[in-house]
Amino acid sequence: MTTAQLRTLIVDSDEMSREVLRSKVQRAGLLVDLERPHGLVAQQTIQEMEPDLLFVAIEQPLQRALQTVDFARAIVPDATIVAYTADWSPMVERRLMQSGVNDFLHGNISSSQVSAVIDRALRKAAASTVPAPADTGARVIAVVGQKGGIGKTTTSTNLAAAIAQGGRQSVLLIDLDTRFGDVAIMMDIAAEYTVSEVAREVEGLDRETFRKLLLRHDSGACILPAPRDYRSWLSCSPEQIQDLVRFAAGMFDVVILDTPGTFNDVVAAAVGVADRVVVVTSSELSSLKNTALLLEHFSLKGLAEEQVIVTLIHGHDQEGPDRADVEFAIGHAVDHEVPFDRNVRKATQLGAPVVTWRASSPAAVVFARIAAHAAGSPDSLNALPDAAVRRRFFGVFGSRKATSHDPERREIAV
């Protein structure tokens, strides 16, 4: 990939500030394709152009600028988003990191900073065009979901414990949640070394040292926790994370990746090396809309039908849409349905996966089934009994494809 192939957009309502940035970008050897002020026109351009590199000015009104970032992250999840501002504030930085920006430039922005972000964008764009499946015998399972609090970490920890306590397969759970990183808490263990430190050193790592850095859970699963400070994530690249996962996959039978509720480059990296992707959704409207978008994205990225395992989790004791409605809304069959189960809550409070704490509880039984499905053969019979039929009914993966001109997609993303 060369700079010429990098579609670049600047969103900035201030003409002068736009000009200053444009000249720095051009000095770094990259032509800016389009420039837009914040607001609807910027959103429309993002949809139509699907930029690889997007510079977003963080200016007043702040809400509007943040809306541009959130919109871009949903529409072009693989793009490099660079936020920039003259005024730095910790609150804004934190919010931007949560939105999944790749870089945040503030103060007097130097040309070398701009060159560095362009280099990173080039590497990222090149990596995303080459699918990087794990090339070892291990099965890498990424657990993803486009919303917070829907049960991703509950699923990851239960899958890890269920597979490990079976005793036949070695398991490593890597916490890639760039925001909250709850795995260590949910499994009641204290972190010493974390993903970002290990990923930074992955090149010189040997198996023995790596094993010593890992935590061990009572179930037998090994854990590599997330750093508590979100800034640590900035010190390792998505490529280093992928290398770390591949390295781990050479040592363990199964590697499970827990991820945050926002699609950022770490999630893209996780999905890029995964053999299976467990897509977690709740039955809430906002979760369903985001799940539909996510499934569409996976379909466009060429993920095979059997790689994707859709799991509906009823994390609340409230009436909601049933499975058929959920399938209609996301345009995809639901492979597993985890019922609401107070034992899960209790287990979470005790710092134990429900599959080890109360293996016979309704949710634990389903988590064990998902574990067998995800770590087993592609045509596993562990999904809901009629899942294969329902998958055929929905046709090829992601049959209800919202296009970028689909009004509903616009509604989802805004």
Contact set with ligand ATP (CB under 6 A): 145, 148-154, 177, 180, 182, 260-261, 313-315, 338, 340-341, 344-345, 348, 363
Name the binder of 390 from Mg ion, ligand ATP, none, CB < 5-8 A by kind: none
128/126 Cα distance (integer angstroms)? 6
**Shorter beta-carbon distance to ligand ATP: residue 118 or 364:** 364
Residue 53 and residue 9 in contact, taking contact as beta carbons nearer than 8 Å: yes
The C-alpha angle with vertex 329 and arms to 328 and 335, in degrees rounded to 5, equals 65
**Shorter beta-carbon distance to ligand ATP: residue 56 or 344:** 344
Rounded least distance, CB 266 to Mg ion, Å: 13
**Shorter beta-carbon distance to ligand ATP: residue 140 or 344:** 344
Q: C-alpha distances in angstroms, 123 versus 1, 8, 12, 106, 262?
A: 8, 15, 25, 23, 21
382/370 Cα distance (integer angstroms)? 7
Question: Which residue among 45, 153, 157, 311 contacts Mg ion (CB under 5 A)?
Answer: 153
Rounded least distance, CB 279 to ligand ATP, Å: 12
**Shorter beta-carbon distance to ligand ATP: residue 32 or 189:** 189
185/177 Cα distance (integer angstroms)? 13
Please enumerate, as own/partner, the contacts of 373-380 that have beta carbons within 8 Å and a separation of 24 or more: 373/309, 373/335, 373/336, 374/139, 374/141, 374/159, 374/276, 374/278, 374/309, 375/139, 375/141, 375/159, 375/163, 375/169, 375/253, 375/254, 378/306, 379/306
Name the binder of 100 from ligand ATP, Mg ion, none, CB < 5-8 A by kind: none
396/108 Cα distance (integer angstroms)? 50
**Shorter beta-carbon distance to Mg ion: residue 11 or 144:** 144
Question: 94: which DSSP letter?
Answer: H
| Tokens at 116, concatenated | 């560095």
**Shorter beta-carbon distance to Mg ion: residue 182 or 239:** 182
Rounded least distance, CB 296 to ligand ATP, Å: 20
Using DSSP, state whether 279 is helix, strand or coil.
strand
Name the binder of 272 from ligand ATP, Mg ion, none, CB < 5-8 A by kind: none
Give the number of residues in contact with Mg ion, rule: CB under 5 A: 3
Name the binder of 301 from Mg ion, ligand ATP, none, CB < 5-8 A by kind: none
Rounded least distance, CB 29 to Mg ion, Å: 40
Name the binder of 340 from ligand ATP, Mg ion, none, CB < 5-8 A by kind: ligand ATP
Rounded least distance, CB 160 to ligand ATP, Å: 13
**Shorter beta-carbon distance to Mg ion: residue 18 or 152:** 152
Using rule CB under 5 A, residue 146 touches Mg ion: no
Rounded least distance, CB 220 to Mg ion, Å: 22
Residue corresponding to tokens 């590199």: 53
Selected range binding Mg ion among 108-116, 179-187, 289-297, 365-373, rule: CB under 5 A: 179-187
299/297 Cα distance (integer angstroms)? 5
Selected range binding Mg ion among 25-33, 76-84, 152-160, 238-246, rule: CB under 5 A: 152-160
**Helix 152-166, helix 362-375: angle, nearest 10:** 70
Rounded least distance, CB 147 to Mg ion, Å: 10
> Which residue number places its CB atom closest to Mg ion?
153
Using DSSP, state whether 174 is helix, strand or coil.
strand
**Shorter beta-carbon distance to ligand ATP: residue 250 or 351:** 351
Name the binder of 348 from Mg ion, ligand ATP, none, CB < 5-8 A by kind: ligand ATP
**Shorter beta-carbon distance to ligand ATP: residue 238 or 315:** 315
146/262 Cα distance (integer angstroms)? 6
**Shorter beta-carbon distance to ligand ATP: residue 172 or 364:** 364
Using DSSP, state whether 369 is helix, strand or coil.
helix
Selected range binding Mg ion among 116-124, 145-153, 191-199, 393-401, rule: CB under 5 A: 145-153
Name the binder of 384 from Mg ion, ligand ATP, none, CB < 5-8 A by kind: none
270/277 Cα distance (integer angstroms)? 9
Within its chain, how far is the Cα of 292 from the centroid? 15
Using DSSP, state whether 325 is helix, strand or coil.
helix
The footprint of Mg ion (CB under 5 A) covers 152-153, 182
